[in-house]
Chain A
Amino acid sequence: MTLLLIALAVLLLGAVAVLLLSGSRRNFSWLAAAFVLLAAVSGCIPAIQVLAGGPALQFRHPWPVPFGEFFIQLDALSAWFLVPMLLLSALCAIYGVGYLRSSVKKCSMGPVWFFYCLLVLGMTLVLLARNAVLFLSAWELMAVASFFLVTFEHERESVRNAGWIYLVATHLGTGFLLVFFILMGRETGSMDFTVWAEKGIHTPELAGIFFLLAVVGFGTKAGFMPFHVWLPEAHPAAPSHVSALMSGAMIKLGIYGLMRALTFLGAPSIWWGWLLLCLGLASGVLGIVFALAQHDLKRLLAYSSVENIGLITAGLGLGLLGVSYHQPLISILGFGGALLHVLNHSIFKGLLFLAAGSVAHATGTRDTNRLGGLLKKMPWTGALFLIGSVAICGLPPLNGFVSEFALAGASLKAITVNPADAAMAGLLALVCIGLIGGLAAVTFAKAFGTVFLGEPRQPVEAPHEAGMAMKIPMLILAAGCVAIAFGAVWLVDWIAPIAGQLSGLEPERVSAVLQSPALVLTTVSICGLALVILFAAIALLRCALLTGRTVGTADTWGCGYARPSARIQYTASSFVQPVTTLFRWLLGAHRQLQRPEGFFPPKASLTTETPDLTHEELFRPGFLKINWGIAKLRWMQQGHVQLYVLYIAITLIVLLAWKFR
């Protein structure tokens, strides 16, 4: 516990230290990164001990806030989220040192590192808090700190807009959480999470309402469709190391919150599982369809986060359905797959955002239609982005495949069981996982293929490879992708107790159920290894065949065309055009086409843009309606003090009358 408290103190100290230094023009990013790294190391040690089977740690201290208590606890569920969160924070901080180097001259580094430390502190506290007031305070700290990080480049109008959307969205979500926690407190007579988990809610209707509140409240942070609107705005606006942290760690806290809430609510009803499954699969499919239509590399990655959150949620849904239908294997595989995907997504999405940041840093643009051929100029970034892409598409042998395999395993198991509706749930999940996998391959073939391969589509400033501080965190994350792919079977022991806690099974039962999946997982890892060995063997064969033969170079075969240029290449937009045409009813892309006309056409142009569907069709009109309704009440605001005193008096009298009714 001491180490955890030290971690919290170090983060606070770091925040204060950089604030004190912020007057100076010196580059003190290293100091901030060192503080975060120190906190990460001292926080991870107890978390790993807990995961390895150690007892849960807790610490209580009085806190003079109504209903508040500084009550923190580290159990396996918190620890599972804490470890990747802290490690990613440290890596992103190190990356940030290199990334922000060019901005040092322009503005002080104080605020950005101050809020970075506070964000990490907020996220750590969210995971540890066991008192509702403390939890909400930490949640708010996290939201506000990340708002200031998103608006780092506040001189650009688009960034300010993105910041506002994020601030509004996150507070709407928090509103639902506030209601959820207050009602929970009223039902159980305590603000203590441990009490909530013990007592549970025993009326199914009430539990259902609480569940819905939790889904909306936590789902807004996690980015479920249609509450995801802030994600594609905020992620591209933030500096890349912050987007990596937000996408890799912060949105997962929404998932954590939902899992934690599930432990309060007692036995799940069947419709909970169905709701989460459908919500998750819809987020997955819509997220990836929108991702592939984006031209902005970071916006594409943001939508792909929606997709991955969708897969995680679908796993939770399968887990709950497994509990409802009394199928322990389905529930363990569903929850376990979701948990593993949380870890995996932290790693590869962190990697992809950092690599995208390096591209933006080197070329000054994120527009995939302008880029090309960067693999030659930035070999490291390119290779690392490729590893992230293969992992996120769920292709063997990397880690994304392992967690998707677990999720597919849950749905396949569901397919073979009775009753028929469980089988239908399995089929639905399987179809969507297949479709999501295929479309993810389209998206990332486009992202990697148009940014790193071919020739530059438009001249950009001479790109340079990322510096050491930026390269090393990416290398570590890529190594994580490989390590988890081959070592997943050792993680089973860590995941099993958490999955058991979520599905309400005894530990012995869980280990009995997990025996055959663990065996399958080993086989899958061996298959991955075999794949690597086969590749090496073929490479050796090719090497042997080509020794002593001529290996020449030439131009790309232009099918007889003598003067090919970089402009005739397929662009990112043209690459995905068949898919966007198929989904045009959903995407509602704006097209502006100026055809070449007349005998001597001077110019022609085509621009496409895919705005967010829910933002355009649901939230914007919704808020306009609310605005319109509120404007109707404007007559009450006359600006006379007497009138306001009258309002107060009337309110008091009404309240008094209500009290003595």
Chain B
Amino acid sequence: MNFPSIIPLLLALTLAPLLPGIINRTKALFAGRRGQPFLQTYFDLWKLLHKGEVYSRTTTWLFRAGPMLGLAAVLMAAALVPLGNFPALIAFPADFFLFACLLGLMRFFTVLSALDTGSSFEGMGASREVFFSALAEPALLVALATLARQAGNLSLSAIFTQVSGAHWFAAGPVMALVLIALMIVLLAENSRIPVDDPNTHLELTMIHEVMVLDHGGPDFAFILYGAALKLWVLTALVVGMIVPDTGAIGLNLVLSVGGMFLLAVIVGVVESTMARLRLLIVPQLLVGAGALAAMAFLLGLNK
């Protein structure tokens, strides 16, 4: 552990709530509105942290523990993810399996909290969430495994310091396929269009948002912050594949953070220009992402 390895975690903790702001501003731009301030998520968090709580009479201690465990899991996951060429705080071989499982833990407790309310809508969201993520998880693992074979190394930090421009020239199709697969996983895991619509006003059609309907106050702040962090870490995986190593630490850092913001704009563009897929089609998209990643693996086998 050395000094620069704390940087990715610190940036994640401080800048993560900015990403939803950028996405929303981009969408507003496309819709011809002014849109909410970039810092809106920070304001929301601040406001929620100063509120009390109202709990459903149906719920138990699990409903209170769920958001806290979810946030703890995603914080831990953030410590495993490098930013651009900066290694993560914690790095060891096969750490991305722990990363995937931590996201799984977060999801498991969000789902259980949703079921704890006894609401049919939240049950519906929970059911869809576990289903889609069960399909997204293999895609994420295969995509990262492909990168691991390309880099000849099993830890996220080592993979992303080694995967560089040279790989794009040598094995362009492999990298492109992995990038598409990771992008689909990013959209699916963060409940974005075309899988889920965070802005819909109809509870029946939501996935993630409907699961947290009954949370309020500091609990909901934990959930919002956790969601922003999850968006940040998965975005960091995609950005890590693209950002080149310039040799200068400062420039690398600027490029990486810039890349994060740029990707947020791209997510906003995707959300503005695409319709959301029918729920029945979503499994095909996710299995497709897994298939693309597997194809990339096969293409890169002779490495």
Residue numbers in B under 8 Å from A549 (CB-CB):
51-53, 217
| Contact between A416 and B118, CB atoms less than 8 A apart | no
Can you list, as one digit per residue, whether each of A363-404 has a CB less than 8 Å from chain B (1) or not (0)? Answer: 000000000110110000000001000100111100001001
The answer to whether A516 touches B93 (Cβ under 8 A) is yes
Chain A's interface: helix, strand, loop or mixed, by majority? helix
| Contact between A552 and B55, CB atoms less than 8 A apart | yes
Q: Is A579 an interface residue (CB 8 A)?
A: yes
Which residues of A401-444 are within 8 A (CB) of B? 401, 404-405, 408-409, 412-413, 415-416, 420, 423-424, 426-427, 430-431, 433-435, 437-439, 441-442
Flag if B141 contacts A523 (CB, 8 Å): no
Answer yes or no: A178 CB below 8 A from chain B CBs. Answer: no
Would you call A356 an interface residue if the criterion is a C-beta within 8 Å of the partner chain's C-beta atoms? Answer: no
Contacts of A401 in B (CB 8 A): 101
- Are B90 and A579 in touch, CB under 8 angstroms? no
Contact flag A520-B94 (CB < 8 Å), given A553-B57, A557-B213, A559-B203: yes
A566 to B57, CA, bound (A): 13
B214 within 8 A of A: yes
Q: Is B148 within 8 A of A534, CB to CB?
A: no
Asked if B39 is at the interface (CB within 8 A of a chain A CB), the reply is no
* Number of chain A residues whose Cβ lies closer than 8 Å to a Cβ of chain B: 80
Supposing A415-B148, A555-B56 touch, asked if A453 and B142 sit within 8 A by C-beta, the answer is no
| Assembled-state Cα–Cα distance A415/B92 (Å) | 16
CA distance A426 to B107 in the complex (A): 26
Contacting residues, chain B, for A534 (C-beta < 8 A): 71-72, 75-76
Cβ-closest chain A residue relative to B302:
A420
Q: Given A396-B102, A412-B94, A570-B127, does the pair A438, B115 have CB atoms closer than 8 Å?
A: no
A437 contact set on B, CB distance < 8 A: 101, 104, 137
In the complex, the answer to whether B108 meets A445 with C-beta atoms within 8 Å is yes
Contact status of A405 and B104, CB under 8 A, knowing A531-B73, A546-B53: no
**Is B55 a contact of A553 with CB atoms below 8 Å?**
yes
**Given contact pairs A412-B148, A449-B112, A570-B124, A552 touches B60 in the complex (Cβ within 8 A):** no
Task: Report the bound CA distance from A550 to B79 in whole Å.
Answer: 34
User: Does A405 lie within 8 Å of B97, measured CB to CB?
Assistant: yes
Do A416 and B152 contact each other (CB < 8 Å), given the known contacts A395-B104, A582-B283? yes
Q: Which residues of B does A touch, CB under 8 Å?
A: 49, 51-60, 62, 65, 68-69, 71-73, 75-76, 79, 90, 92-94, 97-98, 100-102, 104-105, 107-108, 111-112, 115-121, 123-124, 126-128, 130-131, 133-138, 140-142, 145, 148-149, 152-154, 203, 213-214, 217-219, 222, 279, 283, 290, 294, 297, 301-302
5 additional A-B pairs beyond A442-B134, A516-B93, A559-B121, beta carbons within 8 Å, are A386-B62, A437-B101, A454-B115, A531-B72, A534-B76
30 residue pairs bridging A and B, Cβ less than 8 Å apart: A396-B98, A408-B97, A412-B145, A427-B142, A427-B297, A430-B138, A431-B142, A434-B141, A434-B142, A438-B130, A438-B138, A441-B107, A442-B131, A445-B115, A449-B111, A449-B112, A453-B62, A454-B58, A546-B52, A546-B217, A550-B52, A551-B53, A554-B55, A554-B56, A555-B57, A570-B123, A575-B115, A578-B127, A578-B128, A578-B131
Interface residues of A (CB under 8 A from B): 372-373, 375-376, 386, 390, 393-396, 401, 404-405, 408-409, 412-413, 415-416, 420, 423-424, 426-427, 430-431, 433-435, 437-439, 441-442, 445, 448-450, 453-455, 516, 519-520, 523-524, 527, 530-531, 534-535, 538-539, 541-542, 545-546, 549-559, 564, 566, 568-570, 574-579, 582
State the 10 A-B residue pairs at the shortest beta-carbon distance, nearest first. Answer: A570-B123, A438-B134, A449-B115, A454-B118, A549-B52, A434-B138, A534-B72, A556-B56, A535-B72, A550-B52
